[in-house]
Structure formats: C-alpha cells, structure tokens
Amino acid sequence: MNAAESSLGDRVAELRLRRNMTQEQLAASSDLSVDVIRKLEQGRRKTARLTSINALAQALNTEPSYLVGQPTTFEMNAAEGSLPSVLALRQAVSPVADILGGDPDPEDPPSITDLRASLLSTEAIRREGRMGEIGALLPQLIRDARLAAHAYTGADAAAANSVLAVAYQVAATTLTALGRRTPRSQRSNAPWLRVRQCDDPDLETLSASTLSWVFTKQGRLADAERVALARAQQIEPGFRSRPEDLALWGVLLLRAATAAVRQKKHDTVKQLLRMANGAAESMGQDLNVYATPFGPTNAGIAKVNFLVEMEQSDEAVRSARSIPNLESLPPTWRARFHVDRALAYNDLGKDRASEGALLLAEEDAPEWMRYHSTSRRLVEELRGRASRRDAVLGLADRLGLVG
C-alpha cells in the first residue's frame, strides 16, 4: 500500500512498529487512550482530534502532516474534483453534520489550551507557505474548534469560537489564494456569527481585513476598499493606543490601498500609504497580529508592491534597497517582496536581476511559489527569452511549468 492509499491508522501502526512500541506504550507517550489508538489502527476511526494527531506525531517522532497523509493537493492543472484538500476545507467550513446530525464522537473535546496551541502551529505553517500541510491539518482544526464550541459554555465556549473564527479566516484566504470559491455559508454569515460569540474584540477587525482581501481577489475592488475603510474608521487609534491597535489599523489601510491601486486611484493609494507609514513609525517595531505582520518593514514592502502596481519600477527598485529588518518577516512575505522586485526588474528589461529575485523568492518559500500565479507567469515570460544556461530554466522545471 502506498502513502496516498494508506490511512491515518495505517501510518500510526507503521511508525509504532518501526519504533518498537506497543499500543499501550504509544498511548502512554501521547496521553491518549489505548481504545482510540486501537480503533484508529483497525480502521474503525478514520480521523482524530488535531491535538491528538499532534500528540501522536510527537510520540512517534514525525510530522503531523505525515500522519494525516499530506496529499499532493492544489495542483495548478488538476481538475476541481480531484483536489482532496480543497474538498476537505469546504466540508470543514460547511459540514453536512450541522444539518443531518452525526454520531457522537468517542474523544472528549480538546481543551482550550490545546486548541490555541494547534492554531498557533497552523498559523506558523501558513506563514512558511507549506500549502500541502495547511490542506491536511486545517480541516481537522476547524472540526476540533467546532466541537469545542458546541460542547463548552461560558468563557470556554467564547474562547473556542475565537479559535474557530480565526481558522475560518485562514480557510477563506487559502481557498481564495488557490482560485477556489469559498463555500456560500462562509461567504455570508458563518464567520461573522462566530465573531459575535468570541472572547476577542479584535476578531471583527480580522474578519473585515480578510473579507477585503477576498473581495480584492474576486475583483470586487470597490467593495474591498469600502469594507477595509469602514472598519478602519471605526477603530482609528489615538495617541495612547496599543501597538497592536496601530497594527490592526495599519493592516486595514494597506488592504484598502491594495484595492485602490487596482482601481488606478493612485492619489488614494499614496494617502493611505502615508497614514500606514505613520502608524508603523509610531509602533517602532514589527508585530504579528493574527499571523499578519505590520510595522516599518511590512509598510516598506507594501510601498514597493504599490509602486510596482503603479508601473513606477525605477522607484520600486530604489525603495526595495532601503527596507529594514527584512529577515524579521515570515517567509511568504519575503517571497512576495522578492517577486515584486522581480516584476520591477522585468519591466526595466533586466532579466538577470529579475531571475535572481525569483530565485530568492523560491529560497524563502518554495512550495508557495508553485501556487502563486504571478510568479508562474513571470517565470514563463523569462523562460521564453532565456538562453540554455539561465537558471530560470531550472526554476521553471521546479515549478512544474510544461513546455
């Protein structure tokens, strides 16, 4: 049986035997019941809590994504029906069990501490651009958070709903980035209903930011700008605001500017960027708010992105040279910055410099590059002008570009 055909239980059993462990020893090492492990290995259970998967992975000295069977997902040339992780994400966001009901789950709901730890782990994977692992692990996190939200009451229920609301945002951005439509329930009210049941007042801002990003990807530019600006006006910070408040406000301004630049509203873009830069300077450092960085560094790379969009490539290249602390950003943000540099160099007819920037992007986030349509198009363009020795030919092969 190959890895694609094996189940979670098959992989647990295989690794357990390789480690010379009994089911009882694995249960003790992972703090799970022997009954859960036995049912997994016998195929009577097809899945487990993400917190349980994490515990099993640690006990078996492997990655959680290996246990759940990280699929070859999201392939750019695959048909819609053959993308198991896209389907899993959609089913997790809009489960049939909500309508039909389902059998009681033999595992207790995960604790809030475990849920939050799983969310942090998933956010780290997303920042690193490990797309296959997101597709494998995020559906289970959503199911775990839903179970906890239904099982708990009071403060614990609110905390579980907070985790679920963030997980929904990650699902929405992942599906949209892959060019897949978000399920109708998520496009309408599911995330907002969860936000209203949360214990974190900042999640409404996160939802507005995510919705603006999704609208931009869908080409609904005026709606994207309006959503971001409306929320930015509601939370506009004052002199004594926390750095986190400034960061949330700054992210919204950049979301609005992204929509504005694609409407060729260049004066609006410059105004929003000045305001965002002011917030970043007041912070004096970069922060990660809900896995989104904001501060002087991110404001700087946003400026480069907008200059590229406005076809001001000379200025984009100059601005790119003066950005501080680039290494503080997550790999996917750095990769996107290098792609912007590559676009600017390409506009200026500097193919070798463009190629070099793309190779840096690949070095930072190789898996992300495979699914980033702008990167793929630029590599194809450069390949068409390349000589036999150019490194872009190897990059095209690694991205799976045919022809």
Give the chain's domain count. 4
Q: Are residues 86 and 196 in the same domain?
A: yes
Q: Are residues 342 and 369 in the same domain?
A: yes
The tokens 């095209």 sit on which residue?
396
**74's torsion region: left (phi>0), alpha (psi -120 to 50) or beta?**
left
Q: Are residues 267 and 230 in the same domain?
A: yes
pLDDT for residue 260: 95
Q: Are residues 185 and 91 in the same domain?
A: yes
% of the chain beyond a pLDDT of 90: 42
Whether 273 is in a domain gets the answer yes
pLDDT for residue 176: 66
The CATH number assigned to the domain holding 44 equals 1.10.260.40
Whether 367 is in a domain gets the answer yes
Q: Are residues 64 and 38 in the same domain?
A: yes
Q: Are residues 294 and 332 in the same domain?
A: no
β-bridge mates for residue 293, sequence order:
288
Asked if pLDDT for residue 71 goes beyond 50, the answer is no
Q: Are residues 173 and 86 in the same domain?
A: yes
What would the mean pLDDT of 91-103 be, rounded to a whole number? 51
Q: Are residues 193 and 155 in the same domain?
A: yes
pLDDT one-digit tens code per residue, 114-132: 999 988 888 888 888 887 7
Q: Are residues 335 and 262 in the same domain?
A: no
pLDDT for residue 372: 85
Whether 19 is in a domain gets the answer yes
Whether 102 is in a domain gets the answer no
Whether 47 is in a domain gets the answer yes
Asked if pLDDT for residue 187 goes beyond 50, the answer is no
Alpha-carbon distance 173 to 63, whole Å? Answer: 24
Model confidence band, residue 348 (pLDDT cutoffs 50, 70, 90): very high
Residue that is last in its domain, among 200, 235, 255? 200
Q: Are residues 181 and 238 in the same domain?
A: no
Whether 10 is in a domain gets the answer yes
**CB-based contacts of 224: which residues, under 8 Å, 6+ apart?**
211, 212, 213, 214, 215, 216, 255, 256, 258, 259
Whether 77 is in a domain gets the answer no
- Please report, for residues 209, 235, 273, 373, the alpha-carbon distance to residue 245 in angstroms, rounded to integers and kept in the order given: 14, 8, 17, 33
pLDDT one-digit tens code per residue, 37-57: 998 999 887 777 777 888 898
User: What is the distance, to the nearest Å, from the Cα of residue 246 to the centroid of all Cα atoms in its chain?
Assistant: 22
Q: Are residues 86 and 64 in the same domain?
A: no
Domain interval for residue 36: 1-70
Whether 381 is in a domain gets the answer yes
Model confidence band, residue 107 (pLDDT cutoffs 50, 70, 90): low
Max intra-chain CA distance, the chain: 67
Q: Are residues 344 and 273 in the same domain?
A: no
Model confidence band, residue 185 (pLDDT cutoffs 50, 70, 90): very low
